[in-house]
Each structure stands twice: as structure tokens, then as C-alpha cells.
Amino acid sequence: MNPLETFGIVPVDFATLTTIFKGYTFPKDKVVSLEKSGELIRLKKGIYVVSRNIHRQNISMELIANHLYGPSYVSLESALSFYSLIPERVHSIRSMTLKRGRKFITPVGNFEYIKSETSYFRIGIHQANINDRYVFLIASPEKALCDLIINTSGLRIQSPKAMRVYLEDDLRMDFSYLLNFDLEIIKGCIENGKKKNELTHLYKSLKQ
């Protein structure tokens, strides 16, 4: 069995890799050779994911996003797409983080991280468990939508009616599904986040 199979799709750091190859005279050189052969994919300095050719599983972009830069959780369009709330496929993963904003371009895809204040960050985070194989942190649908509204540049919505138009026409969301949203999460975002007027219009449009 290839020792890399034990990691599956979970990203792994350089120190851990050198440990499993400690029987080699130069374990660091072994890691470098595995990267050159394509068995390991370097996401950034010191962080790798094992090639699909080894573990024969689909790589989770959401799981990678959590490991690549943190603390962070998947959100915005990426989370809304994960929940099938918007029809568009997402080609990069966007997350919220407590650190400064960053962007990473990797062989498996692009990742963007947006800075959040601590009091706002901790609201509405869920742990997604995928078939009991792996877990990652992701915004609840309500928090993901609030994150998107807050971080969409130039978005100014003046009424609950205009908010509904934005949700249905611009985002193409099914408004009937949104009526099941947890309004307490949105209230928490209003109290702790930016664009309080827009989030208040969101709250009112869903409460009606």
C-alpha cells in the first residue's frame, strides 16, 4: 500500500510527510520527488494534498479551503452553491477568516479569504460532515447570504421589496426556500456586522 493513501483527501503538511518517510536517508528529498512525480500536489509552501491517482477520491475544495488558511469557514457564493441555493457553478472558493484577506492560486483551484471581525465571524458556522469521511467548516445558508450582501461592493438596497428583487432576479434564489431561514442568525449578523440597513431589509423581506 502506498503510504500516501492513509491521508486520503485531507491536506497534509511537510513535517508530517517527512515523518512517514523517516526510513529514507533523505526524507525531504523523497517529498520533493513525490511532488515532481505528481503524487503530491503542493497547495502552498509546506501544505500538500495527495493526488487523486493515489487515493481515487474526488478532492474536496471546501476541505482544502479550511486547511489552506485559517481560522476560516467557506461562505458567500461558495456556500450558497454548496447548498444548491444559487444555480451557478462556483469556480473558486471564497471564505471568511479572522486573519487579513488573502488569495491563493493553486493547481486544484483558486481560493479567496475575506477578513471578518471576531464578533461577526463566530455567528452561524456549521460543521459539514460528508459521509462520515471528512468534515469542514461552512457558513449556514443564512450567514453565507449575509456575508455575500456585506461583501458585494457597491450593493445598496433601499427596501425589503428591493431586497426580494435582488434575491430572486440577481441571485436567482428560490424565495420560498428562503422563508425557512433562521432569522435569529440574520439578527445576529445585523447586530455585529456591516451594512446594517441592507441586512435589516433582508430580515424584513423574509419575515413578511
- What DSSP assignment string belongs to 100-155? --EEEEETTEEEEEEE--HHHHTTTEEEEEETTTEEEEEE-HHHHHHHHHHTSTT-
pLDDT band at 204 (very low <50, low <70, confident <90, very high): very high
Distance CA 133, CA 82 (A): 17
Residues ≥6 apart with Cβ < 8 Å to 58: 9, 52
**pLDDT of residue 1 exceeding 80:** no
- 105 burial (CB, 10 Å; 0-12 / 13-18 / 19+) is exposed
Q: At 9, give phi and psi (nearest 5°).
A: -95, 5
**pLDDT of residue 88 exceeding 90:** no
Task: Single out the residue of 153, 152, 154, 176 nearest to residue 164, CA to CA.
Answer: 176
Mean predicted lDDT score pLDDT of the chain: 94
**Ramachandran sector of residue 198 (left: φ over 0; alpha: ψ -120 to 50; beta: rest):** alpha
User: What one-character DSSP code corresponds to residue 13?
Assistant: E
Q: Where are the beta strands (DSSP E) in the chain?
A: 12-13, 40-44, 47-50, 72-74, 92-97, 102-106, 109-115, 125-130, 134-139
Which grid cell is 202?
Answer: 433582508
> In the prediction, which pLDDT does 161 show?
96
Q: What is the average per-residue pLDDT within 93-121?
A: 97
> In the prediction, which pLDDT does 9 show?
95
pLDDT band at 193 (very low <50, low <70, confident <90, very high): very high
Confirm if 96 and 113 have CB atoms less than 8 A apart: yes
- 138 burial (CB, 10 Å; 0-12 / 13-18 / 19+) is buried
> In the prediction, which pLDDT does 18 show?
86
pTM listed for this prediction: 0.92
Q: What is the average per-residue pLDDT within 5-20?
A: 91
Confirm if 11 and 17 have CB atoms less than 8 A apart: no
